[in-house]
Structure 1
Amino acid sequence: MSVITQPTDTLRRQDPQMADVLAGEARRQADSLQLIAAENFTSAAVLTALGSALANKYAEGYPGARHHGGCEYADQAERIAVERARALFGAEHANVQPHSGSAAVLAAYAALLRPGDTVLAMGLPYGGHLTHGSPANISGRWFDFVGYGVDAATGLIDYLRVQELARTHRPQAIVCGSISYPRHPEYSAFREIADEVGAFLIADAAHPIGLVAGGAAPSPVPYADVVCATTHKVLRGPRGGMILCGAEFAERIDRAVFPFTQGGAQMHTIAAKAVAFGEAATPAFTTYAHRVVANARTLAEGLRTRGLAITTGGTDTHLITADPAPLGIDGPAARGRLAAAGMVLDTCALPYGDQRGLRLGTAAVTTQGMGAAEMTRIATLFTAAVTGGDTSRIRADVAELALGFPPYGE
């Protein structure tokens, strides 16, 4: 386990209780398999920026127009992050201040919509996010959401049905994006539908944006009016969000982020985003992004051949959604067995009935350096755990595999 993941001697002396918590989390990450599709390991450089002196800086506003003094270096950090994001994704404008992907989506709504407007988005039972109309979320309380789904047989988006819903409900905005759809959205089809009914097109690209950066997925930037994303997941940056848009929406987006929905920017996180954008612009990241997809396809096929039902029959991205029902167990119970065996992942809605399946991803294990052989081994361990194998033995095998690929080196 690398020293970078360990609490410093200063923290251990000052707060041994919290030092123990951080050390425990470092051990958990090191000796188990991180298969949550929304997680990854940042680089050492990103962690350094997160722990930098910019964590102390209050910087409400934007570069050159802050509400606090002493922002000369904060301004430099944000300008670098913005320019790198624009160059990386080919966008005319980027806002890197959103604290999360959800904050980015809600800011997009604030910029383009008014309370009570109709929005067409993927329904939550089919993989829509909380910000796509959940009644527990501000989106579902402030706007009238209409959900589109997927074909029950194929698990794929039915674009004719999306078009029918758009013609019927005439939404002010259409959202394309999901937390568990393993295929690439057809952004051009969504654009045509949005244009036909006079709607804004918002792409929630929180999951695929890292693949877009690495050239392993199509970009929504040429098609969407606004693109919302996270900077963690496959992009491998700090936890946070960003918004990309054309020049015509730049001022509206910026005002929606600050001062409408957020206060002071987290400048240490913005600096870390800048580092991650710089890393994502390298050939090494391009190679990484394509390996993430290759690993996901290998793992999906390994699980399929061992009896799990794979939604849509496979994946084009980093994530896999699987139904363990053919093995005689439901998603939540399977997740519990996998957790006990050291394989950490999530459950998700399945595109039929009211069952919950499993959602997993390959971003983190690919960062660790794992490849096709390890994906096959994971599929074997995974199935053994789900079918009630010897948990202690499987846990030992998982730890051996994980410790052989330390995310920060020895």
Structure 2
Amino acid sequence: MHLFFRALVYVTRKIPTMSQSNGCTMSKERQESHKKMMMSPLAHSDTEVFSIIKKEKHKQIYGLELIASENFTSRAVLEAIGSCLTNKYSKGFPGQSYYYGGLEYNDELETLCQRRALETFGLDSQKWGVNVRPYSGSPANFAVYTAVVGPHGRIMGLDVPDGGHLSHGYMRNEKKISATSMFFETMPYKVNPETGYIDYDKLQENAQLFHPHLIIAGTTCYSRNLDYARLRQIADENGAYLMGDMAHIGGLVAAGVVPSPFEHCDLVTTTTHKSLRGCRGGLIFYRKGTRSVDSKGKETLYNLEFLINQAVFPGLQGGPHNNAIAGVAVALNQAMTPEFKAYQQQVLANCQALSSALIDLGYQIVTGGSDNHLILLDLRNKGTDGGQAEKVLQACAISCNKSNCLGAKSDSLPNGLRFGTPALTSRGLIEEDFKKVAEFIHRGIELNLEVQRSLDSKATLKEFLQALARGEKFQQQVAEIRAEVEAFAGQFPMPGLPEL
């Protein structure tokens, strides 16, 4: 006990009292040190993180970014998401009672973002509403399922190997991969294995057996426009909601250069960072007013506003990311400009140019071309797979992603590559530039085939990569292609903050 009190006295003497620290528990020296920490720029505050960011920025400037779901956002958007709005936490919705006070400017911001979202897509606020709070596209989709389908309700979406998204449901060999398939009952629809186009007749036939509560009109790796009218017909035959997921094509829809899902869908979701070119976020649009009228003239009204808002908060999310809502609002404002429409027209033109150039070089494009911002390259006629080709192109400073296409035997052996044009179009590339991009891709794939020929036909991806890394001749070719790619890419300006 005696030792305990001696220790207590010792510890107490080490803790400064209010009087010892001029009325504050933090000494003046500590206060100054803390102030310096809070005001120090990233380059000084955390050199490790700053170094990683600088390396990523260098890669983006001197590489060719062809991942269809990526883009380069504007300086204004980056400034908004890095603003003091990061500090504010809010719950509830504008005009309602909040859990926290001091949210008058959050109200103003969220209302502005909602108004701009409707204006961007030409929607009447009497007929449509929007929730701007989802953290990204997948949470937006899950909120819709929670709102209108419910546990174990039935959903039909395009199968992942056929170009659908994981958030639309996915099962493989009876194993439920996607959370959508874990919590809801999902049945995929497919593309025609010969043409690569969605088989709407088979979808209609299966829907009559499955009786879905919701049909999803959305894709992540499909290069053709969707037949929203046909999907609406199938949904009506089954009393189902039709949800459009325009995550990839949101910017194209905003510019009016591809068909809009709003004419036929009950709900529409989107991410905000892909072709819409904003920051990471999600939007859920929902219809208002009359849903249907029966033979006796009785109206059934939509109740989607309440259901969607409740699903987002408090159902699935806590406080919204107010800085992200600001970034989305800025991006939406930019999406209503003539410059943005011209940009989206160029995205389509560049995709056509890339597709045509690759076809001229002897490659097969699924469906023979594209109506939107992406193409799917079928590598089967080249005798290689997307996994190997992706790695070689990456080594050559070309970013794309492996993908399944028609006839893929497994997810581990993808037989194609997906390319998209939004990001490089944001940097100012036009059709002639994408012909040069096609040549770089071709040289990378030719190198891939050369490495492959040096190995046993049963070589694994690991063995392939080892051969690529250890072969002096192969490394020399990689270095040559990479140097040319970097010199080419470095000519084009990079949007964003120059200091990061």
Q: TM-score with structure 2 length normalisation?
A: 0.79
Structure 1 residue 374 corresponds to structure 2 residue 433: yes
For the aligned residue pairs, the C-alpha RMSD in angstroms reads 1.4
**Alignment deviations for residues 265-295 of structure 1 (CA, whole Å, 9 cap, x no partner):** 0000000000000000001101111110110
Q: Report the TM-score, using the length of structure 1 for normalisation.
A: 0.96
Question: Where in structure 2 are the equivalents of 1:7-406 lying within 5 Å?
Answer: 10-65=41-96, 66-91=98-123, 92-134=128-170, 135-247=176-288, 248=302, 249-354=304-409, 355-388=414-447, 390-406=477-493
Asked if the contact 1:303–1:379 (Cα under 8 Å) also holds between the matched residues in 2, the reply is yes
Local SS of the residue matching 2:235: helix
Counterpart-to-counterpart distance in 2, 1:171 and 1:18:
47
Structure 1 match to 2:468: none
Change (3 A) 1:9 1:338: farther
Shift, 1:356, TM fit: 3.0
1:352 & 1:167 partners in 2: Cα distance? 26
Aligned to 2:61, the other structure's residue is in SS state helix
Q: Which moved more, 1:325-334 or 1:52-61?
A: 325-334
Q: Please, which moves more after superposition, 251-260 or 276-285? A: 251-260
Task: Please state how far the C-alpha of 1:9 moved relative to its aligned partner.
Answer: 7.1
User: The residue matched to 2:90 in structure 1 has which SS?
Assistant: coil
* Counterpart-to-counterpart distance in 2, 1:270 and 1:342: 33
Larger radius of gyration: 2
Larger displacement relative to structure 2 (251-260 or 49-58): 251-260
Q: State the distance in 2 between where 1:142 and 1:279 align.
A: 38
- Provide the secondary structure at the position in 2 that maps to 1:61: coil
d(CA) in 2 for partners of 1:128, 1:305: 28
Structure 1 residue aligned with 2:6: none
Q: What one-letter code is carried by the residue in structure 1 that aligns with 2:236?
A: D
Match of 2:474 in 1: none
Sequence identity of aligned pairs in percent?
A: 39
The answer on whether the counterparts of 1:61 and 1:265 sit within 8 Å (CA) in structure 2 is no
- Aligned counterparts of 1:361 and 1:9: Cα–Cα separation in 2: 38
Please give the alpha-carbon distance, in whole angstroms, between the structure 2 residues aligned to 1:382 and 1:353: 22
SS of aligned partner of 2:424: helix
1:20-70 per-residue CA deviation (whole Å, 9 max, x = no partner) reads: 111111111111011110000000000000100000000112112232111
- The aligned length equals 403
Q: Secondary structure at the match of 2:71?
A: coil
Q: What SS does the corresponding residue of 1:233 show, helix, strand or coil?
A: coil
List per-residue Cα deviations over 1:129-186 (Å, max 9, x = no partner): 1111122222111111111111111100121111111112111111111110111101
Paired residue secondary structure (2:262): coil
**Mapped contact 1:37–1:362 kept (Cα < 8 A):** yes
Q: Secondary structure at the match of 1:194?
A: helix
Determine the C-alpha separation between the residues in 2 that align with 1:97 and 1:114.
Answer: 20
Code of the aligned partner of 2:400: L
Asked if 2 retains the 8 angstrom alpha-carbon contact of 1:325 and 1:331, the reply is: no
Query: What runs of 5+ residues in structure 2 fail to find an aligned partner?
Result: 1-38, 171-175, 289-301, 449-476
Task: Report the alpha carbon displacement of residue 215 of structure 1 after superposing the two structures with TM.
Answer: 1.1
Q: Which has the higher contact order (CA 8 A, sep 6+)?
A: 1
Counterpart-to-counterpart distance in 2, 1:216 and 1:407: 25
